[in-house]
Structure 1
Amino acid sequence: MMIRRLLIAALLSAPLAACQTAQQPVASANDDAAWYVGSIPDQPHNIPLVDRRRMDAKYARQTVEYKGSEKPGSIVVDIDERMLYLVQPEGKAIRYGVGVGKQGFSWRGVASVGRKGVWPAWSPTKTMIGIKPDLPRHMEAGLDNPLGARALYLHQNGRDTLFRIHGTNEPWSIGEQVSSGCVRMLNEDVADLYERVPVGTTVYVKRNGRYRV
């Protein structure tokens, strides 16, 4: 992690994951650095800007036609598609590519954004620690933090579900099924979504075309 921090910090000084990866692809520190092409000014850390040429173009943020029945302003996560939709008026949606939970970890249902966090701290759940006992028990905000630059905390009936929509320091995981259950986005994408949605926004997370369990 320290090597990654130093490499990304060096990139960010140039002009211009609740959720840990369940199984991370093999990648060297040089591979990490190659994913970034600059930064977006932000506080207290600049947001690393990913080289989109390294990603499938379908995962780029874009406005698309949307035929679902959810109301404008709703968030819809399609686990199977690895896409998040922010529903807009007149049959449109802003679509973002996402990474989702590894098989057996994904959650589905209807929730709401209970709170929002800027460069949030992270603590693994008991389940994560049971799987990976060497995980840190707490991590402050920063470039190494698995929650990235922003987090939307999903609540049901006033209680935290422990599932999040959040940024990631592993951009290669977008479009993959690798996390411990949360929905992860590129940091620049989750920062964009964060500004568009208020606390209380309804979030539908569906698999196999359904979000009702």
Structure 2
Amino acid sequence: MGILLVNRTATPEWLYVRDVMGPNYEDEIFPWGQYHKTIPQMDVHHPDITCGRKAFAAAANTSTADVIAGSEVGFRVSWDAYGPGGEFYHRGPAQIYLSRAPGDDVENYRGDGDWFKIAVAGPKDNNSWLLSGEGDFNFSIPLTTPPGKYLMRIEQFWPTDLYNYSQWFVNCAHVNIMGEGGGSPAGFARFPGTYEIDDPGELPP
């Protein structure tokens, strides 16, 4: 999910989203390097669950997008198992979190602070998920979000009844949120630290 959307307009891949790596060095060889970046993470306790595999290595080279509180932004799937473009092909929910960078220094922020949730794409009905077959996840930045520079994190995961086999797809964008603010974020989470292997919903009964 290397493409940030601003008011449904696509920005260049990995310009505002921290680039990630495949699980092995040899996976970076073109053209399969982009595909291997989509290989899921399966350890909810690993630091890579924060923003993606080795994402912090790309932080200094990631630009920051100006977005206005109340406006629509989103993430687009840039590659899937079948090549460029694609869709959320694993069935499951997606969620969006924000974390304010200390001192607004987002390029040097690992994302090890507090996160608050701003959007969810859950079940569509008893048999399907909202993002099934979709390539974009669009949502609005809450109007009263305090202004400043943030990491904006997307997570989409595939729950499974196989123990310790849920698959996580995670990326983070750099955003500078502008507006009057006035809100007080609450309900904080940390990544890693929020999820356990046997949490309800992650490991269905």
State whether TM-score is above 0.5.
no
Higher share in helix: 1
Q: TM-score, normalised by structure 1?
A: 0.25
The TM-score with structure 2 as length reference comes to 0.25
